[in-house]
């Protein structure tokens, strides 16, 4: 007859939950990621990892049920892929940022710095009242943040909706860009893919590449952000704005 495991040999509750909850269709989590996920459970940031929302070259985004330390029903868990070469192309957003020193050659270190950078950028943006997901926790290659959605359904991206008042939305996006700039932060990747619409309000997401004004390319990144969003609204809604004038107005007031 099989003997019962002693209490010492029984797996911890977090480990059992992970084995039950963490199922990946296109691969499996490596050991480092599993250990980092366990921190989210032990710190009561999440109580379960429920299902994947999106999968990209750099990161997978999961829906999770919030733990007791988070005053919300759901949490977004963003897991950056460690075994990917695409981060090497993103080094330009870290190199030159005065907040970071010399990046070590290890891809693990680069990804961890990227995660740390997104968390820090979200903290700055959240602190000044920008429409962004509130950051809850980060460690290694994982960041936990506020869920943007309604009744458990994630909000749609800007590109996937037809706006009733597109000019108002564009003006609000430009106001958000200006607000970030007033805090010496440039998103650096504004597009219809990185904006969620909730209750007719735009929320900016994906802040890993955001830089401070001390970065040598910050002004060029700002110009690109403005140009991208203005061109999108022109093509889809026929709204005409002068990108150069908008950049001048934002930088002049700073």
Residues near 124 by beta carbon (within 8 Å), at least 6 away in sequence: 183, 185
> Helix/strand/coil (H, E, C) string of 120-145?
HHHHHHHHCCCCCCCEEEEECCEEEE
C-alpha distances out from residue 61 to 76, 123, 174, 238, Å:
7, 19, 26, 33
| 225 carries an active-site annotation | no
C-alpha 146, offset from chain centre: 10
User: Annotated catalytic residue: which of 60, 97, 206, 225?
Assistant: 206
d(CA 176, CA 77): 24
Nearest to 87 by CA among 69, 103, 98: 103
* Joined tokens for residue 183: 């805090």
User: Annotated catalytic residue: which of 189, 199, 225, 244?
Assistant: 189
Nearest to 116 by CA among 145, 90, 89, 138: 138
| 151 carries an active-site annotation | no
Active site residues: 189, 206
């Amino acid at each position: 007859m099989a003997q019962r495991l002693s209490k010492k040999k029984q797996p911890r509750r977090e480990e059992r939950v992970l084995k039950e909850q963490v199922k990946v269709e296109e691969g499996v989590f490596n050991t480092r990621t599993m250990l980092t996920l366990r921190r989210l459970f032990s710190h009561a940031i999440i109580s379960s990892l429920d299902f994947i929302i999106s999968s990209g070259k750099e990161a997978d985004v999961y829906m999770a049920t919030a733990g007791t330390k988070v005053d919300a029903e759901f949490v977004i868990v963003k897991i950056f892929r460690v075994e990917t070469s695409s981060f090497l192309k993103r080094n330009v957003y870290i190199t030159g940022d005065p907040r970071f020193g010399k990046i070590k050659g290890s891809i693990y270190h680069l990804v961890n710095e990227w995660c740390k950078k997104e968390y820090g950028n979200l903290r700055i943006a959240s602190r000044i009242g920008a429409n962004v997901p509130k950051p809850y926790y980060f460690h290694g290659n994982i960041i936990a943040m506020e869920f943007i959605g309604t009744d458990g359904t994630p909000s749609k991206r800007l590109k996937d909706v037809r706006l009733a008042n597109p000019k108002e939305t564009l003006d609000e996006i430009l106001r958000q860009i200006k607000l970030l700039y007033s805090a010496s932060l440039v998103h650096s990747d504004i597009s219809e893919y990185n904006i969620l619409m909730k209750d007719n309000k735009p929320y900016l997401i994906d802040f890993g590449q955001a830089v401070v004004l001390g970065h040598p390319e910050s002004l060029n990144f700002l110009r690109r952000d403005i140009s991208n969003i203005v061109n999108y609204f022109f093509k889809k809604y026929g709204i005409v704005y002068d990108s150069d004038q908008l950049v001048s107005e934002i930088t002049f007031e700073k």
